[in-house]
Amino acid sequence: MLKIEHLSVNYGGIEAVRDISFEVPDGSIVTLIGANGAGKSTTLRSIAGLLKPREGSIQYNGEELIGKPTNEIVKRGITLVPEGRRVFPDMTVLENLKIGAYLRSDDLSEDIRWVYDLFPRLEERSWQAAGTLSGGEQQMLAVGRALMGKPKIIMMDEPSLGLAPLIVKGIFDIIKEINRQGVTVLLIEQNANMALHTADIAYVLETGRITMTGPGRELLRDDRIKKAYLGK
Ligand SMILES: Nc1ncnc2c1ncn2[C@@H]1O[C@H](COP(=O)(O)OP(=O)(O)O)[C@@H](O)[C@H]1O
Ligand SMILES: [Mg+2]
């Protein structure tokens, strides 16, 4: 289990995340929802070792992760799919997938098969330059590349951003399928509706603080959430 306690993160004088605590149990889908600027990406980037928190702890199975470099965190099975699906545009789909396994030297064919079974669209486009894929396909590739590292926890930074509703539904179906196959998911989203429908546990982040928590489906029925995040 991943356990975040009293985490605070600053950018110079700006407090982006203030004293937040939350847990990601093994096998679950946990979501942090919140408006633009709430501190969602800062939280994920801190867990991934890309930012150094000012205070608090990030423990995975009892081991402190703060201070460890990103590659050590990846080695422990925690991978980030960053915002904006940064694929390598001039490389093929298959080359992009192979890069996701950069810390491993064993045979990759089984994992490529796994990713292609999850995303048949990627197999069809195996030799296509990643930069020529649609937005939804690039998001599939970004997720597929993260899966090539065989993560225990996959963290996703707004996978639905800028995608059409039907494509978003497909991405969330895949998130559930990946989770069903045993990968723990930590998902951050502005798309509260989809995220709450998908998550076992949800936390609401507002200007750097956690203000509400509960099962996703319970928060969907909450009047404050409806008003602030679901436009109802
Ligand atoms: N590199 C940075 N330098 C300074 N401030 C930043 C930087 N990145 C984010 N911030 C600020 O930190 C706050 C949280 O940002 P972020 O974590 O990106 O929010 P979210 O992902 O929820 O939209 C915002 O006020 C944002 O302007
Ligand atoms: Mg963000």
Kindly report, residue by residue over 27-77, the tens digit of the pLDDT.
Answer: 999 999 999 999 999 999 999 999 999 999 999 999 999 999 999 999 999
Atom of ligand 1 nearest to the CA of 44: 17
Which residues lie across from 164 on neighbouring strands?
none
- Quick one: what percent of the chain has pLDDT higher than 90? 85
34 CA from centroid of ligand 2 (Å): 9
Atom of ligand 1 nearest to the CA of 205: 22
Q: What is the mean pLDDT of residues 180-203?
A: 95
- Confidence band (pLDDT; 50, 70, 90) for 200? very high
Provide the whole-model pTM.
0.94
Taken in order of first residue, the domains within the chain and their CATH numbers are: 1-77+153-232 (3.40.50.300), 85-150 (no CATH)
Distance CA 15, CA 51 (A): 13
40 CA from centroid of ligand 2 (Å): 5
The residues lining ligand 1, judged by C-beta closer than 6 Å to any ligand atom, are 11, 14, 16, 34, 36-42
Cα four-point dihedral sign 154, 109, 167, 139: positive
pLDDT tens-digit map of 106-135: 778 889 999 999 999 999 999 999 999 999
64 CA from centroid of ligand 2 (Å): 24
Secondary structure class of 102 (helix, strand, coil) = coil
Q: What is the mean pLDDT of residues 168-179?
A: 94
Q: Whose CA is nearest to atom 5 of ligand 1?
A: 11
> Which of 42, 47, 161 to probe ligand 1 with, by most ligand atoms within 8 A of CB?
42
